[in-house]
Amino acid sequence: MNMPKQVSEMLAAPADADQPTTRQFSRRDLLAVVRAAAVAPVVAAPVIVQAVSTDTSNELIYMSATKLAGLIRAGKVSASEAVEAYIARQLSVNDELNAVVMNSYARARKEAAAADKAGARGDWMGPLHGVPMTIKDSLDTEGVITTGATYGRQQYMPKQDATVVARVRKAGAILLGKTNTPEFTLGGLAGINAASNLLYGSSHNPYDLTRSTSGSSGGAGAIVAAGGAAFDIGSDWGGSIRGPAHNNGIAGIKPTSIRVPRTGHIVDYGGLFDLWQQLGPMTRRVEDLSLITPIISGPDYRDASCAPVPWADPAAVNLKKLKVAFFASNGVSETDDDVKNTVIQAAKWMEGIASSVTEDLPKAILQDLYDARTKLTNADGWAFYKRMAAKWGTQNFSPSVTERMKTLVPISTADTVAAWDAADDAKSRMLGWIQKYDVLLCPVAGKAAEVIDRPASAARPNAYTWSYTGAFNSTGWPVVVVRCGTSADGKLPIGIQIVAAPWREDICLAVASFLESKSGGWKKPPI
């Protein structure tokens, strides 16, 4: 596939202390990539080599998707056995979790039987052959009701899968059901503090049923953590993969903006917020993020922003040459001692292997990103939300959204453009800052999972400002979250964000895998 030489070289550069790992992206460079894609032949998702798992778990419903796929391919487990085990687990825990809101068990059993027959012939669909999954209810699934948590779609049955769903199904994954989310992924019964909506109610955290799953991919986070699915695919507009990964103690990735097509998501592509939205897998183990993300990446020639960017192998990253930055609080929203201690511990683990580890907070830049994002989010008084509701025939919003809209006053076009300019300026300054480093470690949120549907308060802004996560939707940078700690009472998981410059998912995943090996990563919940 044709690609401008300077862009190709930039994307292929290894993570090495002897050369820069970031470049200032000009609009001309980005346009060159997109134009190259426009004239290139239509291609399928990249061919993925079957991965070898390092997961030591022997329990079928708790092992990684990578390990399960390997066992199915080796004939040690059948797809039907895997599907039945996950269905049984969902039936045993979902009454308490309320994470899976629509099932497709009958179809899953038929697909598993067909997968087993194909496997017996040596006809393997792909690297996820026979692996059971769930999918966030905001992503279209052919033949399975997809509500997006809004009344106007309560009986909506898509005629085709979202692009990412089609790709993992083509790779052999089997859909068991849809997972809970706030309405349109943007407004639940109490914002996106929890996966809550008027159709299905609230999901519950498997480590403490009184606690939030976070949102908007909260049902996904809960069922994956509880062993009810090998993986899920979530969406992230301001932290909606990373918050649930943190609260539920799993691994999740927000890839670089425009790497993964958004086609078939209820908030898809285009418009002022186009580059904020990204889709990515949610798993128990980091190795599964490395397996699944390249499967769902690459243009589908419907999402007009999606670029054909090469995928770099995380295994090729030399951790010993990495320059690491970290901060335990961003100065916009405070963190408690449990979160601070977790980030500091992760930094200490990196000191044992990395070239350098430096505490460094670009506070002014993060504040400017947050301020610009807040203005842009509210610029049209949420007219964009009302347009989505009108499109699907939803007439009544959840109370929290209704109350929020009463307080929002649209700003002028001039002020909107000024906020956009301010965001771009802060993004550029952030690129300048990261030139000193290869990777950043920082909090996902100010605390571990809080109580479900706690009321909004100006004095407790963490769940509502997304100040730790939203900055990296604004920049478009890739972020991986992995569990690195536990609350002081020993009950609740704490994840951290691992951030790198654009297109360097390989660095994020390599560091996440190392930190997972030190912390143990995901741990079985008590449910």
CA separation, residue 398 to residues 178, 189, 390, 407 (Å): 21, 6, 15, 15
16 found inside a domain: no
Q: Is 216 a catalytic residue?
A: yes
The H-or-E segment that residue 485 falls in is strand 479-486
SS3 456: coil
DSSP letters, 221-258, are: HHHHHTTS-SEEEEEESSSTTHHHHHHHT-EEEEPPTT
CA 112 to chain centre: 27
506 found inside a domain: yes
The H-or-E segment that residue 115 falls in is helix 105-120
Distance CA 435, CA 501 (A): 9
487 found inside a domain: yes
Closest CA to 475 of 385, 381, 370: 370
For residues 89 and 227, the answer to whether their CB atoms sit within 8 Å is yes
DSSP letters, 85-107, are: HHHHHHHHHHHHH--EEEE-HHH
pLDDT of residue 348: 98
pLDDT tens, position by position, 105-155: 999 999 999 999 999 999 999 999 999 999 999 999 999 999 999 999 999
SS3 496: strand
pLDDT of residue 363: 96
User: Is-above-0.95 flag for pTM?
Assistant: no
**Cα first-last separation, the chain:** 49
Check which CATH number belongs to the domain holding 508 and give it: 3.90.1300.10
271 found inside a domain: yes
187 found inside a domain: yes
348 CB contacts (<8 Å, ≥6 apart)?
Answer: none
456, exposed or middle or buried, with CB in 10 Å at 0-12, 13-18, 19+?
A: middle
For residues 440 and 213, the answer to whether their CB atoms sit within 8 Å is no
Q: Which of 67, 136, 178, 447 is catalytic?
A: 136
Helices (H), 360-504: 363-377, 383-392, 399-407, 413-434, 462-465, 470-475
506: left (phi over 0), alpha (psi -120 to 50) or beta: alpha
Please give the structure tokens belonging to residue 298.
């690459």
Rg of the chain over all Cα atoms, to the nearest angstrom: 21
Pairing of strands 439-443, 323-326: parallel
198: left (phi over 0), alpha (psi -120 to 50) or beta: alpha
Distance CA 252, CA 289 (A): 7
Helix axes 79-97, 65-73, angle to 10 degrees: 150
318 CB contacts (<8 Å, ≥6 apart)?
Answer: 14, 15, 16
pLDDT under 50: residue ranges of the chain: 1-47, 457-465
pLDDT tens, position by position, 50-88: 678 999 999 999 999 999 999 999 999 999 999 999 999
Tell me the residue range of the domain where 402 lies.
Answer: 52-519
Please give the structure tokens belonging to residue 261.
């097509």
57 found inside a domain: yes
7: left (phi over 0), alpha (psi -120 to 50) or beta: alpha
Domains in the chain, number: 1
151 found inside a domain: yes
For residues 507 and 223, the answer to whether their CB atoms sit within 8 Å is no
Amino acid code (one letter) for 162:
A
Q: Which of 240, 329, 513, 519 is catalytic?
A: 240
Eight-state DSSP code of residue 449:
-
6 found inside a domain: no
Residue 44 burial (CB count, 10 A): 9
Q: Which of 78, 196, 216, 513 is catalytic?
A: 216
Residue 137 burial (CB count, 10 A): 33
Vertex 496, ends 491 and 502: CA angle to 5°?
A: 155
Distance CA 327, CA 333 (A): 13
Pairing of strands 323-326, 356-359: parallel
Q: From edge to edge, which strands make up the β-sheet containing 132-136? A: 100-103, 174-179, 132-136
